């Protein structure tokens, strides 16, 4: 089904099963893990804890944001906007309507610093979500290099970069970074499972000789924990995630 105004097609309900049935005697579908001998990555959560004042501020902003949603229906656009605002707050800063940045806390930056120290000189690939995340990380840490050019990729794979900073949308299909390190740190989560998986696959791919460690920095008792359910395959949609949040707030 073609969607006017979009350069993409969507399958009608049930169409994939019909296509698979029609071509099953002509094609073989295999996942990379079926034929590549890769070590299973380690998924590690590191908790960032807000102090009492910071948590009260987060809960107030969470309540104000979620209750903007109408009772009748949660539109995808509204769900995306509210989720993004909550993710920003969990990360430590938020955009105002005028696109100014208000800093709320530095707890994730503190945990990121701990993880970099624990890496003991090993290169780390850090994924961020929002531009203010990127700016605050660059301001906090020396030797950060943004992933922008082929030269950045070359230097990373030659282990000349200690902290490589990238957005998951810019580190998608086909980018080979497996020679440069085996540590991924998610400073800010993105609720898109596809982006999450493809970003991790930059290191978890053929040619990687070490077990990849994938760290999630999770702000305790925030939307981070619920988004992580999506990334773990709990099959929550963004609208359902917001319904859960709203139900909790209205208890």
Query: What band does 211 get if pLDDT is binned at 50, 70 and 90?
Result: very high
In this prediction, residue 202 carries a pLDDT of 92
- Whether the pLDDT of residue 169 is over 70: the answer is yes
Length of the chain counted residue by residue = 251
Average pLDDT of the residues of the chain:
83
CA distance 241 to 236: 6
Q: What percent of the chain has pLDDT over 90?
A: 50
Query: What band does 3 get if pLDDT is binned at 50, 70 and 90?
Result: very low
pLDDT in tens, 26-55: 665 555 554 456 688 999 999 999 999 999
Query: What band does 110 get if pLDDT is binned at 50, 70 and 90?
Result: very high
pLDDT in tens, 71-97: 445 555 566 777 888 899 999 998 887
Task: For residue 82, list its beta bridge partners.
Answer: none
In this prediction, residue 35 carries a pLDDT of 46
φ, ψ at 89 (rounded to 5°): -60, -40
In this prediction, residue 238 carries a pLDDT of 60
Does an H or E element contain 188, and which? none
- Whether the pLDDT of residue 119 is over 60: the answer is yes
In this prediction, residue 226 carries a pLDDT of 85
What structural domains and CATH numbers belong to the chain? 42-249 (3.40.50.300)
Q: Can you tell me the mean pLDDT for 192-211?
A: 89
C-alpha distances (whole Å) from 231 to each of 117, 207, 208, 224, 235 are: 26, 25, 23, 11, 8
What is the SS3 assignment for 217-248?
A: EEECCCHHHHHHHHHCCCCCCHHHHHHHHHHH
Query: Strand, helix or coil at 3?
Result: coil
Record the tokens describing residue 208, joined without a space. Answer: 């990687």
Question: Which one has a higher pLDDT value, 221 or 2?
Answer: 221
The DSSP secondary-structure symbol of 57 reads: H
C-alpha distances (whole Å) from 181 to each of 1, 114, 159, 174 are: 42, 18, 7, 17
pTM for this entry = 0.78
């Amino acid at each position: 089904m073609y969607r006017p105004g979009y350069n993409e097609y969507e399958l009608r309900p049930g169409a994939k099963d019909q296509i698979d049935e029609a071509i099953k005697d002509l094609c073989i579908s295999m996942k990379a893990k079926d034929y590549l001998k890769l070590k299973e990555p380690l998924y590690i959560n590191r908790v960032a804890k807000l102090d009492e004042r910071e948590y009260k501020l987060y809960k107030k902003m969470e309540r104000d944001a979620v209750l903007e949603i109408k009772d009748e229906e949660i539109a995808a656009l509204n769900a995306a906007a509210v989720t993004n605002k909550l993710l920003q707050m969990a990360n430590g800063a938020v955009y105002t309507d005028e696109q100014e940045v208000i800093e709320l806390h530095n707890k994730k930056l503190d945990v990121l610093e701990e993880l970099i120290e624990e890496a003991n000189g090993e290169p780390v690939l850090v994924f961020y979500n929002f531009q203010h995340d990127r700016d605050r990380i660059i301001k906090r840490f020396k030797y950060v290099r943004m992933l922008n050019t082929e030269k950045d990729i070359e230097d990373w794979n030659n282990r000349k970069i200690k902290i490589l900073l990238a957005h998951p949308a810019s580190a998608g299909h086909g980018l080979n970074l497996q020679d440069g390190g085996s540590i991924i740190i998610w400073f800010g989560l993105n609720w898109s499972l596809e982006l999450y998986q493809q970003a991790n696959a930059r290191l978890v791919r053929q040619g990687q000789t070490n077990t990849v460690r994938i760290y999630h920095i999770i702000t305790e008792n925030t939307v981070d924990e619920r988004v992580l359910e999506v990334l773990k395959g709990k099959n929550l949609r963004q609208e359902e995630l917001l319904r859960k949040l709203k139900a909790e707030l209205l208890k």
